Chain A
Amino acid sequence: MEDIKFEVKHLNLYYGDFQALKDLNINIKANRVTALIGPSGCGKSTFLRTLNRMNDLVDGVKITGEINMDGKNILSDKINTIDLRTKVGMVFQKPNPFPMSIYDNIAYGPRCQGVKDKKILDEIVESSLKAAALWDDVKDRLNKNALGMSGGQQQRLCIARAIAMKPEVILMDEPTSALDPIATQKIEELIDILKKDYTILIVTHSMQQASRVSDDTAFFLLGEIVEFDSTLNIFSNPKNKKTEEYITGRFG
């Protein structure tokens, strides 16, 4: 029996009058990769952002329901969102390294948390870059500006930067849509390795990526979860006709 990382109960989310998420009930299992798929505007990114309260930053957002992470409701007012976002890291569609050295990109988070010891920082930088399969590429130029790296390297740096905070969960919002096929493959391989230590959720528009990297898949449509099952079931024998239409490109 796998552990459950997030237990989502009756989650509703409104942007003003518009209801973006409708009564979501889903259990996200720990140490697995869960893919969120669905057409644009279906709520999958919005859902991803509720998991580290990124939607708090949007004006006029209203959320009801519960998201229990390891038994604690992360939607509660008592939750420290900075702590939460340390535990639940995020990687975005476009690589967004800070305009500083590779080393400082990784060390930025730990330094903010008060880590000053150079030796400890060195260790964090090395282990994070190794975990993101980037160490061998950059170990000789840690002091070079991160913006000089290739797109694929920048994205792996962003993953390393998230890992440096020792998160439990990594959220990825279309992490490879701006990358070429080789860089995409490296990220996908990385996701497969990282799931041993982290729970990963990935929003993707590529059906093949969802089927290659994920263990479970949730299909979103108009703010609802239409079907949630093992990726094998979703892609071999989906129960819902809408799911089949979407994954086979017959939608709409």
Chain B
Amino acid sequence: MLKLDRKLEKLETSVRHMGRQVIEQHKNCEVLFEHPEKSLARQVMHNDEIINNYETNINEQAIADIVLLRPIATDLRRVIVAIKIASDLERIGDYAKSMAKFVIKNLDNPATLKILKEASFIQQRLVKMLEDIMIAYKQKDVSLAYEIPTQDKELEALLQDFRKIVIKNNVADLEDAFNLSALYRTIGRSSDHAVNICEHIVYLCKGIQYDFDKEE
């Protein structure tokens, strides 16, 4: 095994660890939506720092690999894709932090918490999508990377339903309604970044830039 192979394997392992950490955060958010409580929410907010450190570390590794080992062709794509996936994972991690913040803010707001429960099902779908993505990345499975974005479409539809629930429940407080809409947007944005990662995996495997937004 070449030194370059070992370094790239290490780099991708770091990205996978980072992915696992991000998934853990979103799983905790799913729990929080179902059973809101302060200490877990605090923990999620605190752990965001770990994810940020992962991204910094991955960028440093990637720069060292480029400078010292001069990767080309597939090797170079592996480095570029590691940087890009880490960047999207970091954003997805940020959204988990926002969700935890939202829970803390609304702990004494039973009307909001009741609707929040409805979101845990959607959040579960997001977690499943992230898990599938990390499998596609690990196995460099391009057909899986092509399939996953349909989950984003389904999730988008569920979010529309959630919006209707918010309206139907006739949230009295306008601020609560705004906050809830901001929350469901964080789930939607996380899913958008997840789709970006699918594009990076396609680029990694095939060397072509694919845009899932332009599909339809």
Contacts and interface: CB of A to CB of B under 8 A. Distances in A.
B70 A208 contact: yes
Interface stretch (A20-28, A30-38, A172-180, A244-252): A244-252
Contacts of B70: 208
A235 B2 contact: no
B2 A236 contact: no
A65 interface: no
Nearest to B207: A237
Nearest to A233: B207
Nearest to B75: A248
Interface string A224-252: 00000000000111100000100111100
Interface string B56-78: 00000000000000111111100
A211 interface: yes
Contacts, number: 25
Nearest to A236: B73
Contacts of B207: 236-237
Contacts of B73: 235-238, 244, 247-248
B84 to A, nearest CB: 16
The residue in B2, B71, B73 that gathers the most chain A C-beta atoms within 10 A of its C-beta is B73
Interface in B29-84: 70-76
Contact of B2 (A211, A238, A244, A250): A250
A207 interface: yes
Interface residues of A, number: 12
Nearest to B208: A237
Nearest to A239: B207
Contacts of A247: 72-73
Contacts of A250: 2
Contacts of A249: 2, 4
A250 B71 CA distance: 12
Contacts of B72: 207, 211, 235-236, 247-248
Contacts of A238: 73
Interface in A187-209: 207-208
Nearest to B73: A244
A247 B72 CA distance: 8
Contacts of B75: 248
Contacts of A237: 73, 207
A230 to B, nearest CB: 14
A235 B207 CA distance: 12
A250 B75 CA distance: 11
A236 B76 CA distance: 8
Interface in A47-81: none
Nearest to B70: A208
A19 B207 CA distance: 36
A207 B4 CA distance: 16
A208 B70 CA distance: 9
B2 to A, nearest CB: 6
A211 B73 CA distance: 12
Interface in A211-229: 211
Contacts of B2: 249-250
Nearest to A207: B72
A177 B18 CA distance: 44
15 contacts: A207-B72, A235-B72, A235-B73, A236-B76, A237-B73, A237-B207, A244-B73, A244-B74, A248-B71, A248-B72, A248-B73, A248-B75, A249-B2, A249-B4, A250-B2
Top 3 closest A-B pairs, CB basis? A237-B207, A235-B72, A244-B73
Given A207-B72, A235-B72, A244-B74, 17 more contacts: A208-B70, A235-B73, A236-B72, A236-B73, A236-B76, A237-B73, A237-B207, A238-B73, A244-B73, A247-B72, A248-B71, A248-B72, A248-B73, A248-B75, A249-B2, A249-B4, A250-B2
